């Protein structure tokens, strides 16, 4: 088997909140993403999904760990070396209303990346490349002279996608790119991302809340809880047979488009609130809300182990 394009090892991102306390947003996680693959990352708000994406790109400097990209640990690179590497790793941000500069035209928003990396010889070539990118994401060339406020949310996110594509990256972190969009637009954006992936052989980390959309776009899915990965496997295996109690609860929340089936099935409702990542529970972090928890769960932290071929879970009772 060939080496993965992205290999994250023992990544930690702890924020100093004062008084000697640290918020453990990402707490010792490891995973890989193969070239041309989409890894979905799901979990409830505050579990650390977006922090993972931002730390992978060094928008946050990690507390510890490695991020091997194309055989290079990007955390060991200098600022100059990191600037060059950013051509290969880009990000699509969550909020298309906040991620586009309102004082810049679309031509300059997308063209800025070309300027930084010296990818256009002159203004004519720069303009032609921006217009090509706009048409690639389903917008018109004449949109280049407009400002962000003149577009809908879905169109703004397409501009954000065009900006990420401008430098011809290999890997893109999609940080909840559809959560701020109307439901009617979400599938269009996901289908666009899939088309672009096939066309340019892109690799994605797709962070989202919407489990149905994650299933639609992802080859494998990682489930996060309180800064840790509790389950990771192929999309089909996760949705057909989740092993971790937290994943089972998430899956039970997906609505079924059949009123009779929806009425008959058992919904798993978790008790309690998400614990504080400043002071997480001992042992298994999910034990305070888990219906299967025992004394062993409080005393021993379950490792992420391969329960079935290619199906990893962090639970003493996953089998």
Output the pLDDT for position 295.
93
Q: What is the CA 153 to chain-centroid distance, rounded? A: 20
Output the pLDDT for position 231.
96
Cβ within 8 Å of residue 51, ≥6 positions away: 13, 25, 26, 60
pLDDT digits (tens, 9 = 90+) for 265-302: 677 777 777 888 999 999 999 999 988 889 999 999 99
pTM reported for the whole predicted model: 0.92
Output the pLDDT for position 264.
65
Count the neighbouring beta carbons within 10 Å of the beta carbon of residue 253.
12
As a whole number of angstroms, the distance between CA 211 and CA 113 comes to 32
pLDDT digits (tens, 9 = 90+) for 176-226: 998 888 888 888 999 999 999 999 999 999 999 888 889 889 999 999 999
- pLDDT category, 251, cuts 50, 70, 90? confident
pLDDT digits (tens, 9 = 90+) for 33-73: 999 999 999 998 888 999 999 999 999 999 999 999 999 99
- pLDDT category, 318, cuts 50, 70, 90? confident
Angle ∠(184,38,59) on CA atoms, nearest 5 = 90
As a whole number of angstroms, the distance between CA 123 and CA 268 comes to 58
Output the pLDDT for position 258.
65
**Could you tell me if 11 and 29 are in contact, meaning their C-beta atoms sit under 8 angstroms apart?**
yes
Output the pLDDT for position 311.
95
Phi then psi for residue 164, to 5 deg, are -65, -35
**Parallel, antiparallel or unpaired: strands 38-42 and 21-33:** unpaired
Cβ within 8 Å of residue 295, ≥6 positions away: none
């Amino acid at each position: 088997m060939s080496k993965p394009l992205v290999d994250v090892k023992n990544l930690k991102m702890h924020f100093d909140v004062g008084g000697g306390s640290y918020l453990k947003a990402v707490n010792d996680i490891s995973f890989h993403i193969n070239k041309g693959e989409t890894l979905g990352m799901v979990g409830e708000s505050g579990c650390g999904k977006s922090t993972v994406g931002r730390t992978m790109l060094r928008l946050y400097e990690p507390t510890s760990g490695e991020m091997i990209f194309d055989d290079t640990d990007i955390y060991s690179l200098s600022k100059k070396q990191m600037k060059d590497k950013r051509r290969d790793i880009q990000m699509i941000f969550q909020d298309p209303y906040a991620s586009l500069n309102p004082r810049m035209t679309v031509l300059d928003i997308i063209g800025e990346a070309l300027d930084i990396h010296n990818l256009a010889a002159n203004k004519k070539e720069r303009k032609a490349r921006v217009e090509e990118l706009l048409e690639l994401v389903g917008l018109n060339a004449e949109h280049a002279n407009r400002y962000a406020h003149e577009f809908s949310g879905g169109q703004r996110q397409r501009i954000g996608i065009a900006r990420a594509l401008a430098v011809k990256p290999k890997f893109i972190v999609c940080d909840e790119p559809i959560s701020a969009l109307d439901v009617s637009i979400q599938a269009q954006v996901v289908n666009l991302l899939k088309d672009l992936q096939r066309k340019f052989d892109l690799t994605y980390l797709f962070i989202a809340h919407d489990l149905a959309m994650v299933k639609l776009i992802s080859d494998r899915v990682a489930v996060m809880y309180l800064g840790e990965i509790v389950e990771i496997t192929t999309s089909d295996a996760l949705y057909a047979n989740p092993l971790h109690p937290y994943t089972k609860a998430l899956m039970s929340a997906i609505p079924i488009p059949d009123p009779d089936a929806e009425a008959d099935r058992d919904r798993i409702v978790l008790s309690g609130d998400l614990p504080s990542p400043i002071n997480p529970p001992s042992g298994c972090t999910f034990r305070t809300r888990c219906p299967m928890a025992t004394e062993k769960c409080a005393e021993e932290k379950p490792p992420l182990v391969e329960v079935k071929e290619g199906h990893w879970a962090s639970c003493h009772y996953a089998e």
